[in-house]
Amino acid sequence: MDELMEQLRKKDVFYVNDVEFATLETNGEFSILLKKEKQPVRWGDLFGVGQKVKLPQTIIIDGNFIEEAIYEMGYSLEWLKTQLQQRESTVKEVFFGQVDHLGNLYLDYYKDRFIEKGKNNSES
């Protein structure tokens, strides 16, 4: 019993009553499943299933559109062309372009762009 209690304490378990299941693995490690009410609280326990966040997608590389990635994010080629027109640029000027799950577009140009005519240009 002393050895069992020692293994439980190594897993930060001090009360046998907190254990739902325990086993000695073939490699000599001790695995413990705590009772549900004794397990650490997880985000899903408090808020349910979370919203899936899409990873940012690269949509322009080396001055070329990556059409599959544009459509995968739920946007169109026309949307991207409009975004470029609003920034007074063309795809050929863009070294790298990425869009995140919120539709924020990041553009990195071959040549550094400067602030012109009082416009604040946040792209690099």
- What confidence score (pLDDT) does residue 113 get? 58
**How high is the pLDDT of residue 11?**
92
The type of residue at 89 is S
Sequence-ordered list of residues with C-beta below 8 angstroms from that of 107, at least 6 positions apart, any chain: 60, 87, 89, 94, 96, 97, 123
Which residue ranges of the chain lie beneath pLDDT 50?
115-122, 124
pTM given for the model: 0.52
Q: What pLDDT sits at residue 46?
A: 84
